[in-house]
Chains A and B, each alone.
Chain A
Amino acid sequence: MRIGLFATCLGDTLFPEAVKSTAVLLARLGHDVVFPPGQTCCGQMHVNTGYQREPVPLVRNFAEQFGDASIEAVVMPSGSCAGSVRHQHEIVAERYGDASLRAGVATVKAKTYELSEFLVDVLDAEDVGAYFPHRVTYHPTCHSLRMLRVGDKPLKLLRAVDSIDLVELPEADSCCGFGGTFAVKNAETSTAMLQDKMRNIAGTDAEVCTAGDSSCLMHIGGGLSRIRSGTRTLHLAQILSATRTSPYVPTEAVR
């Protein structure tokens, strides 16, 4: 399958390991991974902060970069960016775009997937041949859980990982408190939410807290790092791309 990889602006710039892992994983599963070089950002931050005129060029760029019919699926290691493409681009296009943008948005929306739903729903792959001999807990990010409805797809993928010690996170479905600019505008309420999330993570005694969004992991990981907790965060793709022949080796300082 010819897959258009969307790195997301955050992943491309700040968390490239998660995107590398996504690219390598999809290639290892036998797919042709293309990276349209003109891609930048889906515009989610703009829309969620209340700006709908400003991201019109971003929405247009996304539709143009991935609109090519030779790209059969657009895959991204982010539930919230996939949610933005599937639910917000049409709002922006409807309100401030033209007919061609609306058509472009509809075309791309129909073939856009978050990584775990692409693996499970489209490729019908739960066991992706991963090996990860560590104690792991999974935090379902809000947009993957309630906007995309990925359900237990990430858990199905994790359960199939060789040698993993997967432990359930108490109150898993409560928000970590990130919420994009929410964590800046309402930093103190966000921190209160983060504290409770970290308490629950600590209770699992996991080495790794994983999720499908680098943004939420940046938030949780930033908090865990501040308290020197001994648990690190790792994107789901980094667990799924680790194998016996090329196991996971930590590279980044804080995640």
Chain B
Amino acid sequence: MSSTFLGMPATPPRSPYGTGNLRGDRKFPKAAHDELRNEQLRRNLGRATRTIRAKRLNVTGELPDWEALREAGSAIKTDTMNRLPELLEQLERKVTERGGTVHWARDGVEANEIVTRLVKATGSSDVIKVKSMATQEIGLNEHLESVGITPYETDLAELIVQLAHDKPSHILVPAIHRNRDEIRQIFLKEIPGVDPGLDNVPAHLAAAARAYLREKFMTTEVAVSGANFGIAETGTLAVVESEGNGRMCLTMPDTLITVMGIEKVLPRYQDLEVFLQLLPRSSTGERMNPYTSMWTGVTPGDGPQDFHLVLLDNGRTAALADRIGREALNCIRCSACLNVCPVYERAGGHAYGSTYPGPIGAVLTPQLAGMHAAKGDPNSSLPYASSLCGACFDACPVKIDIPSLLVELRHQNTEQSGTTAEKLAMKAAATVMKHPKLFTAAQKGAGIGRLVGGRDGRISHLPPPFNGWSESRDTAAPPKQTFRSWLASAEGAQAMRAAAGEYEKNRKQKEEEK
């Protein structure tokens, strides 16, 4: 923050620097440089995003009230954020009443410690996991491994990512960057006792994973999940998924530990009516997802008998404190914005360096973890990883105005960056442009650009910082005459008179025809 003085509130803490998975090790353009050369990634992403875009448009287009649903989704989330503290306390009360235990985690470090303590208390050294963004965000798996607890991801794509010691690259399809041959290799190398004759047929690969996981489901006594929604009114938690692995984790073990970002709370049970329509249609392009699991505290004799809910802040209150940026907390993690984003489609999820890639990641990550936590913080490049084309805003089921948030975060970045060469250039440009006489003089100066143009008027090389531009684009040399000098010239005056004369002629002709 630039300055603090008496009477100003302190900013709520962001996710602590150096913890979790909310920051890459290099800026977006550098990371994208490598990813853009990954033909497999480009091909997979191009195909997958194109397919899912078409599916989404089909199932959203068929609903006559889709726009009204988006409005409702946006309104419910906005209302939720406006009274988040009271809703969270209500949720805590209801979960506790129904036999669950609620824990509050200020950040990822605290959440990891709480989960570790709870797992250790069961005596188990293994946990099975439901695909969860929150636990990915805080690096729970890495933490558990460091204390001798083995986490097993049970979502097929997460399992592939985990076995490959890799990171997810998509919110919904974490292994989107892998092909079936790679997956076969990963399974042959990492799954104990796998059939060495395993081929690359998707059904066979899935069967191999299934056999491996089934044994884990049957024997592991603790599960860790995230949550798509937590209902304050009833204390009900909900997970939506496709494969049924979630259902297994949520029902079979004795102990269930759910890590939920505090923004996932919804006021009423009835609100699910809106979100269970918005989420699957926006996410997988399905009318309904195959499995929706809901549980409220503990039900004696049925399902886990020990239930813990860990409410995770990790920078969310900091985001909530931002009048404009808080809108990003409305996100329901459907990934529709990733699938329509032309930047994501080419650069892929790893280029963003965070658990949250794509357009929503570019606005959420800097708010959760900050943009200037260290010198040259890679997160400061995220708001610029967009052409501001606006496709994400149109696709978002809760109408988050991501382009405006990106522009806002760019502003916050320049405000926090002090004096930079870019800022000086922008100031200089504004100084010239606010004085019409200086502007006209500068336009004449631009005419000098004609000298660097080739005989055909093409400029094919430009100095930094424009060399990246001229690498693949010619630039026309500035024309001899600006528009304003043409307009002031005899030629311009004559052209405008002729155009007006043509109108008069046409008008008279029409009158005569009448």
Chain A interface residues toward B at CB < 8 A: 7, 9, 11-17, 19-20, 23-25, 27-30, 33, 35, 37-41, 43, 45-52, 54-55, 57-58, 60-61, 88, 129, 142-143, 145-147, 173-175, 177-194, 218-219, 221-223, 225-226, 243, 245, 252-255
Task: Tell me whether B423 and A51 are in contact (CB under 8 A).
Answer: yes
Task: Tell me whether A193 and B346 are in contact (CB under 8 A).
Answer: yes
Given contacts A7-B484, A23-B487, A58-B433, contact A14 B478 (CB under 8 A): yes
Task: Tell me whether B388 and A142 are in contact (CB under 8 A).
Answer: yes
State how many angstroms separate the Cβ of B403 from the closest Cβ of chain A: 8
Task: Tell me whether A55 and B499 are in contact (CB under 8 A).
Answer: no
Q: In the complex, what distance in Å separates the CA atom of A175 from the CA atom of B392?
A: 12
The reply on B205 being an interface residue by CB < 8 A is no
Q: Could you name 26 residue pairs across A and B whose Cβ atoms are closer than 8 Å?
A: A13-B482, A14-B446, A14-B476, A16-B481, A19-B483, A20-B487, A20-B492, A25-B499, A35-B484, A43-B433, A47-B407, A47-B411, A61-B434, A146-B391, A173-B391, A177-B342, A180-B388, A183-B387, A186-B29, A187-B472, A192-B347, A193-B342, A194-B472, A194-B473, A226-B472, A255-B476
Taking CB atoms, residues of chain B closer than 8 Å to A24 are: 495-496, 499
Taking CB atoms, residues of chain B closer than 8 Å to A243 are: 502
Task: Tell me whether A175 and B389 are in contact (CB under 8 A).
Answer: yes
Task: Tell me whether A146 and B390 are in contact (CB under 8 A).
Answer: yes
Please pick, from B42, B393, B412, B483, the residue contacting A16 in the complex, using a CB distance under 8 A: B483
Task: Tell me whether B484 and A37 are in contact (CB under 8 A).
Answer: yes
State how many angstroms separate the Cβ of B121 from the closest Cβ of chain A: 48
Taking CB atoms, residues of chain B closer than 8 Å to A146 are: 389-391, 393-394
Q: In the complex, what distance in Å separates the CA atom of A215 from the CA atom of B487?
A: 21
State how many angstroms separate the Cβ of A218 from the closest Cβ of chain B: 7
The reply on B149 being an interface residue by CB < 8 A is no
Q: Tell me the B407-438 residues at the A interface (CB within 8 Å).
A: 407, 409-414, 422-423, 426-427, 429-430, 433-434, 436
Given contacts A49-B410, A146-B393, contact A55 B473 (CB under 8 A): no
Task: Give the total number of A-B pairs whose CB atoms are below 8 A apart.
Answer: 229
Taking CB atoms, residues of chain A closer than 8 Å to B342 are: 174-175, 177, 193
Please pick, from B387, B453, B483, the residue contacting A20 in the complex, using a CB distance under 8 A: B483
Task: Tell me whether A225 and B487 are in contact (CB under 8 A).
Answer: no
Task: Tell me whether A50 and B410 are in contact (CB under 8 A).
Answer: yes
State how many angstroms separate the Cβ of A100 from the closest Cβ of chain B: 16
Please pick, from B410, B430, B458, B471, the residue contacting A58 in the complex, using a CB distance under 8 A: B430
Task: Tell me whether B28 and A14 are in contact (CB under 8 A).
Answer: no
Q: In the complex, what distance in Å separates the CA atom of A66 from the CA atom of B495?
A: 23
Task: Tell me whether A52 and B436 are in contact (CB under 8 A).
Answer: no
Please pick, from B29, B42, B487, the residue contacting A35 in the complex, using a CB distance under 8 A: B487
Taking CB atoms, residues of chain B closer than 8 Å to A28 are: 499-500, 502-503
Please pick, from B33, B426, B460, the residue contacting A54 in the complex, using a CB distance under 8 A: B426
State how many angstroms separate the Cβ of A202 from the closest Cβ of chain B: 15
The reply on B343 being an interface residue by CB < 8 A is yes
Q: In the complex, what distance in Å separates the CA atom of A147 from the CA atom of B392?
A: 12
> Nearest B residue to A55 by beta-carbon distance?
B430
Q: Tell me the B433-480 residues at the A interface (CB within 8 Å).
A: 433-434, 436, 439, 443, 446, 453, 456-458, 460, 465-466, 468-469, 471-479
